[in-house]
Structure 1
Amino acid sequence: MVKMIRQGITAIFALPFLAAAQNYNLSALFGSVLSPNAEIYYANDSNWTQEVTQRWSTWDAPTYLGAIKPVTERDVQNIVKVASAHNISFLATGGGHGVSQGFANIQNAIDIDLSNFKTVDLDVRNNQVTVGGGATYGQLYDPLYNAGKEIPTGNAPCVGVVGATVGAGVGLLQGLHGYTSDALISARIVTASGVLFEASATNNTELFWAIRGAGANFGIITSATYQVYDATNGGQAQNADFLYPEIANRSVWGALQTLDETLPAELSVTITSAYNQTSGQAVIMVNLVYFGAYDNFQPYVDQFLAINPTQWRNVTVPWNQLIAAANFGAPSNGCETNSHINFFSIALNQTDPLTFQGFFDDLILFSQQNPSYNGAWVIERYGTQGPLAVPEESRGVYPWREAKMQLLWESDYPDSSLDDTVRGFYTQQRQHFNEFSGFPTFATYVNYAHGDEDPNAWILCNTQVRKLQIISQNADSHIANADVAIISAKGIHAAHAKLHMALESSPCSTERGADTIEYVINSLEKQKLWFLNYKNRKDGMMSLVFNLVTQQDAANSIEIAADTKRDSTSMNAIAALTMIFLPGTFTATILGAGIFSASTNGLGIRVSNLWWLWIAFTVPLTFGIMLGWWYYRQKEKKIQEIGRLEHEREAEKQQA
């Protein structure tokens, strides 16, 4: 059964270079700036798949000229500088679980493989752990458990810790401690200019805010320090697994709905549904994890036992063995690589059993119609108490803290032949779920995003753009300050030279002073370069946000036009029916008004002497209604004209 989390390109930064592909000699280009133990591989090397970290999915994957495995932070800085100087894109890889159609835009790049940055240093006294940029969740399990500690993690051991953090880091323990990003204390980041910075709550605070939820776009994180917590329930957790036939799906969705407002912080629910192409049957597997005593866990176990599973079990295990114990201990394929997995997701704030049941039926039909399809539907229901308890001022970018669950669709098939079919099916299904999501707009966890969503789905653009504007203002101020400092330093340098010439000082002392001042000038120029690069990246992000919002507005306009066309078609149909029936209705009304009647002998028609009353009432009433309509239209035009004039006056005031 499929059970995976895909968060993970560790700290990724790809420069948007559009240069044509070239055959570079990577050894000649980078060899001189790397430490002795750093390694270089080409994409066509026979040992590429064995020596270079492979991606979880090959769907819409980037392409590489080669890979470099740095050993030190200085190596990472130098790789970035050389690649930038030669117009070569680069991408840093930690766990390799990042899945998004945006990766396909990165072509002929350098893969900065952080396999040598897998250190885990635990400081028990200060409740902190520092991990390298390539470290995975699985590397944290045993050291933390053995020390009586824990940290929020995902449910796949091979996912990169830092890669999950930059999205937020949802997982089993979030109900108690919040996201992985909420535990982040500081991070060391190499920017696009090759400068190494540290970001924390007190140092480079805007950057620290951005790397916790906005995705991997701000630099290559070489190491990160996190807070760790005392292990809950002595490090022991309850794990219960249930297997149901497809006929039980409506009851499972109903049980899930009862937890919408009552899920305790200690409980997490993961439900996996898949269609077995061999047996021709769909199955549902429910995994419950509870960080506490079994007595408190039992009511939730009983609730799912009442649905009559075909198989179930409960075990108490140390928390570091939870992933291995889940799903009846079946091995997970979440750490397999180079599969063709097309990924869609949506975040929900409520459970609608009818929508869930409808999709489950559609999934079965879709699987039957496409025999090579082996996808799975995964529902992650984790507690919201931890994320919502984090103070507003301490939060990162990620906006959907109240989300009750993440819906993931992992479409696994041999090659790209089904890409369009899968895209069409899940785009439609995702939109249907969105209509009953409980959110006012589409929401998704950025690490699970397909890549075609409106930006509001990732970071709530309208809320965050103001912060980006503030960052821009700060960058402008820093750039101006750097310019002033550089001018002042150069002035001091010139004055220093004149002073020593006048005093005829010794060359040795003159050179020492000059070197010191030149060092200061060079440092200031590098700082200015970083600020310029930082501002350019911010401008690029804001342009992306505004362009995507504009695209969304255009899409909305098209939808409105389509609705208007449908309304117009309906009105035309109504008008046609009116023209068909109006003559008959008019005739029946006249004949039924008593003005005309048959003569007593039935051989003629007799006209009433009061026929003029019908005309006397109908004609004035008709003119009165038309006059009222004309008066209403004239009044509306005056109101619109007044509004237009006021708008023009306001615009003139703003221009003045």
Structure 2
Amino acid sequence: MHASVLLGLLALAAVPGSARTLDYPFNIAARTPAAPDLTPAEIISQLGPQLSANSSIFADDDRRWANATERWQAYSRPNFVVVAEPATEADVPVIVKYANSYGIPFLAVNRGHGSTKTLGNMQNGIEISLAQLRSIQIAEDEKSALFGGGAFDGEVMDTLWEKGFVTGTGSCSCVSLMGPGLGGGHGRYQGFYGLIIDMLISLNVVLADGSTVTVNETSHPDLWWAMRGAGHNFGIVTSFEAEIHPRTVDEWFINRFIFTQDKLEAVFEVLNEQQQDGGQPQELMNYLAFSWDEEFSTTEPILDLFFHYVGSAEDAAPHLEPWEAIGPLSSTPQSLPYPEVPDATGTGLHSDMCQHGNTNMQFPFSIKEHNITATRQLWDYYVNVTTARPEFQQSIVVFQAYSLQGVQAVDPDSTAFPHRDDRIQCDVLVTYEPDDSLDEDAIAFGKQLRQHSADGHPGEEQHVYVNYAFGDEPVEQMYGYEPWRLERLRETKTKYDPDNVFRFYNSFM
């Protein structure tokens, strides 16, 4: 797999452990309903007439089924009996109320890139596809836009850029805007405007009982706090208003460097220097991956670095010099409009990174700075395993250094997102063609790679970016170690979802 697939991965840290036993008053019977006796045909005949004219509802004998249910992560995937695709926001509460009336679990699906193993707990349910809810309407004052809950990054980037605007998105064109946003939402513009959640103005939400609410600073403020960082646990966002900003440059400068393993220590010294004390300029981002790429070597992996700068090559030059001084194997500069950056860096809509069907397990971690000795050990282990096991050679280890200026400008207590001080987001992505016989070895491989980093940072809290958690990490690593955070989340959950209907995506209960 081409090394430039690294850009879509936005991740933080974890060492697996046990979750707490909870004493909250949840209706256990409602959380684990018996499988309904209804057949797919009966569900379609009953629910279909209740939906608006352009909605769809179908089962696995329909030609649309494979495309609607295919996922980026083949391991531990949800199982559905029907797909309901609403044409309007008003259809979503109808589907939720119907499912509740029969005790059928349901899961809202946007682009199908969620990778946590906990999604496999969804069995015999209804997929609520948001594929038709993709509208983008710029407000008259041109300071915000109203997005459909199914809007995805590529469409958002293209539409806004053409009109002279940008907003925060993830790094992959193919991924939804709100899916990652519910867990925080790291991305290339965070140095300027913060996380995706920091640009939100209002959410239109379908709650667990099928009721609809508008959620913002003054309407349901407790839910407003909780959904910005833990939103997968609280409802389905059918549309949302978010800030947009005038685009400040016409082109970004991108430089891809390829380094051989003998340059590893020098490379990570520069990464530490450029990220030191969180002082990385707003305009600067560095993404690096350990990966195999036959274009450069068939005998060992490479270090594949993408240098990003929001501006011209001339303005980027002082930050570029340390990388050139190391002596890269290859250096490829280019300037291009922002919507073309994903294609150029391996995370465009049609890139390898964005395609469904593989097993893609993620084992994220975050660090404040690189322990270069530990990084060398991580590299050696990665090389040894992938050399001995070629079936894992699509796997990569990613190190991402975004600017933190926009992220840290927001009060850390004002949202449920707990990790605003994490300087370097990292991820082990174990990728291979689906094969159940490889799953246990793949998990052991990913966890051991992550453990090498943890061993190199003794005494530090282990943090996990919830959007890319493997799914068995302690809840504190995903949602914060401060006791008040989890207490507040659980109180809000008890209020808005007492039957734990939204339980399939990295639950904190």
Match of 1:350 among 369, 372, 380: 369
Secondary structure of 1:226 counterpart: strand
1:254-311: per-residue Cα shift (whole Å, max 9, x none)?
A: 2212223142121011112213589232112110111134333112211111121121
Match of 2:174 among 158, 181, 184: 158
- For residue 238 of structure 2, what is the aligned residue in structure 1? 222
The one-letter amino acid of 1:133's match is G
Match of 1:302 among 321, 338, 360: 321
Q: Any conservation in 2 of the 1:215–1:447 contact (CA below 8 Å)? A: no
- For residue 67 of structure 1, what is the aligned residue in structure 2? 83
Distance 1:445 1:203 in 2: 27
Do residues 257 (structure 1) and 260 (structure 2) align?
A: no
Match of 1:235 among 219, 244, 250: 250
Deviation, structure 1 residue 545: 4.8
- For residue 172 of structure 1, what is the aligned residue in structure 2? 188
Distance 1:34 1:351 in 2: 53
Do residues 136 (structure 1) and 152 (structure 2) align?
A: yes
Structure 1 residues 19 and 330: alpha-carbon distance in aligned structure 2, compared to 1, 3 A threshold: closer
Structure 1 residues 328 and 122: alpha-carbon distance in aligned structure 2, compared to 1, 3 A threshold: closer
Stretch deviating more after TM superposition (256-265 or 379-388): 256-265
- For residue 6 of structure 2, what is the aligned residue in structure 1? 3
Deviation, structure 1 residue 182: 0.3
- For residue 485 of structure 2, what is the aligned residue in structure 1? 464
Structure 1 residues 238 and 539: alpha-carbon distance in aligned structure 2, compared to 1, 3 A threshold: closer
Q: Any conservation in 2 of the 1:313–1:328 contact (CA below 8 Å)? A: no
Stretch deviating more after TM superposition (429-438 or 118-127): 429-438
Deviation, structure 1 residue 383: 0.9
- For residue 424 of structure 1, what is the aligned residue in structure 2? 444
- For residue 94 of structure 1, what is the aligned residue in structure 2? 110
Q: Any conservation in 1 of the 2:363–2:428 contact (CA below 8 Å)? A: yes
Secondary structure of 1:98 counterpart: coil
TM-score (norm 1): 0.69
Distance 2:9 2:309 in 1: 23
Q: Any conservation in 2 of the 1:236–1:317 contact (CA below 8 Å)? A: yes
Match of 1:275 among 292, 298, 321: 292
Structure 1 residues 226 and 371: alpha-carbon distance in aligned structure 2, compared to 1, 3 A threshold: same
The one-letter amino acid of 1:242's match is F
Stretch deviating more after TM superposition (254-263 or 237-246): 254-263
Distance 1:18 1:111 in 2: 17
Deviation, structure 1 residue 332: 2.5
Secondary structure of 1:417 counterpart: helix
Match of 1:118 among 131, 134, 149: 134
Secondary structure of 2:362 counterpart: strand
Stretch deviating more after TM superposition (117-126 or 18-27): 18-27
- For residue 19 of structure 2, what is the aligned residue in structure 1? none
Stretch deviating more after TM superposition (296-305 or 169-178): 296-305
TM-score (norm 2): 0.87
- For residue 386 of structure 2, what is the aligned residue in structure 1? 367
- Higher RCO by CA contacts (8 Å cutoff, separation 6 or greater): 2
Distance 2:374 2:323 in 1: 20
Matches within 5 A, 1:588-627: none
Secondary structure of 2:269 counterpart: helix
Secondary structure of 2:280 counterpart: coil
Do residues 326 (structure 1) and 338 (structure 2) align?
A: no
Deviation, structure 1 residue 124: 5.7
Deviation, structure 1 residue 331: 6.5
- For residue 193 of structure 1, what is the aligned residue in structure 2? 209
Q: Any conservation in 2 of the 1:133–1:222 contact (CA below 8 Å)? A: yes
- For residue 519 of structure 1, what is the aligned residue in structure 2? none
Structure 1 residues 452 and 317: alpha-carbon distance in aligned structure 2, compared to 1, 3 A threshold: same
Identity of aligned residues (%): 26
- For residue 18 of structure 2, what is the aligned residue in structure 1? none
The one-letter amino acid of 1:280's match is T
Distance 1:68 1:252 in 2: 49
Deviation, structure 1 residue 77: 0.7
Distance 1:471 1:103 in 2: 22
Secondary structure of 1:334 counterpart: helix
Do residues 440 (structure 1) and 443 (structure 2) align?
A: no
Structure 1 residues 437 and 384: alpha-carbon distance in aligned structure 2, compared to 1, 3 A threshold: farther
Q: Any conservation in 2 of the 1:468–1:538 contact (CA below 8 Å)? A: no
Deviation, structure 1 residue 538: 11
Secondary structure of 1:300 counterpart: helix
Deviation, structure 1 residue 226: 0.4
- For residue 520 of structure 1, what is the aligned residue in structure 2? none
- For residue 406 of structure 1, what is the aligned residue in structure 2? 425
Do residues 455 (structure 1) and 475 (structure 2) align?
A: yes
- For residue 43 of structure 2, what is the aligned residue in structure 1? 26
Count of residues in Structure 1 that have an aligned counterpart in Structure 2:
477
Q: Give structure 1 stretches of 5+ with no counterpart.
A: 8-14, 476-530, 547-656
Match of 1:106 among 118, 122, 127: 122
Q: Any conservation in 1 of the 2:170–2:186 contact (CA below 8 Å)? A: yes
Distance 1:154 1:185 in 2: 18
Give the greater-gyration-radius structure (CA): 1
Structure 1 residues 303 and 175: alpha-carbon distance in aligned structure 2, compared to 1, 3 A threshold: same
Matches within 5 A, 1:638-649: none
Structure 1 residues 302 and 539: alpha-carbon distance in aligned structure 2, compared to 1, 3 A threshold: closer
Deviation, structure 1 residue 64: 1.0
